Amino acid sequence: MSPNSTKTWCLRLFPILLFFISCVTFYCSYAIIQSVSRQTKLFLKLEDFFWREHLASRLALPYGVKGSEPLLLKALAVLADYQVPDNIQNLECRTCVVIGNGFAIKNSSLGSIINKYDVVIRLNDAPVKGYEDDVGNKTTMRFFYPESASFNPGQHNEAGTLMVLVPFKQQDLRWLKEILYNEKRVRKGFWKPPPQIWLGDTNKIRVLDPHFLHQTADRLLRIPLHPNSKQQPVHPTTGILAVFVALNYCDVVHVAGFGYPKTNSPRHPIHYYGFDTMRSMKNSYHDLDHEAQALRRLENSGAILYLHPHL
């Protein structure tokens, strides 16, 4: 075959190849996004336990409420609200950004951009003051669990920030009940002592439905929900969980501050703040490489967009 004929055939096949690649990309994207159930009711509420499927939950925390119903009933009975504020709930198109705590966001100067989103989700006790140029200062929701809670949430959150408890175990709900009822604190059962005094506004507390952690583990990460005795339990991080929640609740989802340094140095910092290093992740109950792959699939499918370059 002559060079001209070869060139002609290549030109004819190129549109077909492009169409094939587009189809594959579309179906891969569709398959990934289909794993998101688009449940927009994020938080547990008291009436759930009178006629909803929670009563028939077969899974214990962190993936269900089996065995935790009495603690939840007492906690939810005194919470003022179970909803997202109307000014966000009523938006026709919600733009959301999930801010991870990773070193990648340091010196990014993304603060002013982050503040423009309808919903800004932050994680654990990551600080804002002193880091506004990189991470902004708007916080719509902050996902946390007792060990990652700050005793004074007002220091790095706004007055209207929703404090979203992610219960991983019964002790987390017991801690919440003790805070709400000002009961004697029980310190056992935590890998790190949680705050014994919590100065936050209890009217802003919400309890995330375990459905989201279950779906993150089962459908997005596909990790075993019932590992055998020889397997170390693996649970999703609050970061990947927050991304999954955002994909359910929001129409546009962007992320920043995700990913740990690709370095062999155990002394390299892992956060944009503080002094924690890669060494601190050695005995983690999280599979960070697996989560990075899941985020990459979501990015490649167009489900999420990073606000900064990343590895």
pLDDT tens, N- to C-terminus, the chain (311 residues): 555 554 444 434 433 433 343 334 334 444 455 555 577 899 999 988 776 555 557 899 999 999 999 999 999 999 989 999 999 999 999 999 999 999 999 999 999 999 999 999 999 999 999 999 999 999 999 999 999 999 999 999 999 999 999 999 999 999 999 999 999 999 999 999 999 999 999 999 999 999 999 999 999 999 988 877 677 788 999 999 999 999 999 999 999 999 776 666 778 889 999 988 877 766 667 788 899 999 999 999 999 999 998 86
What is the token pair recorded at 212? 């989201």
Q: Which CATH number fits domain 39-306: 3.90.950.20, 3.40.50.300, 3.90.1480.20, 3.40.50.1370?
A: 3.90.1480.20
Angle between helices 238-249 and 288-301 (to 10 degrees): 20
3-state secondary structure (DSSP) of residue 249: helix
Q: What is the pLDDT of residue 56?
A: 56
Calculate the alpha carbon distances from 65 to 168, 223, 298 in Å: 10, 19, 29
Structural domain spans, the chain = 39-306
Q: 289-292 long-range CB contacts below 8 Å, 24 or more apart?
A: 290/221, 290/223, 290/234, 291/221, 291/236, 291/237, 291/239, 291/240, 292/259, 292/260
Q: Which residues contact 54 (CB under 8 A, 6 or more apart)?
A: 44, 48, 65, 69
Q: What is the pLDDT of residue 225?
A: 85
Calculate the alpha carbon distances from 41 to 120, 210, 246 in Å: 17, 12, 12
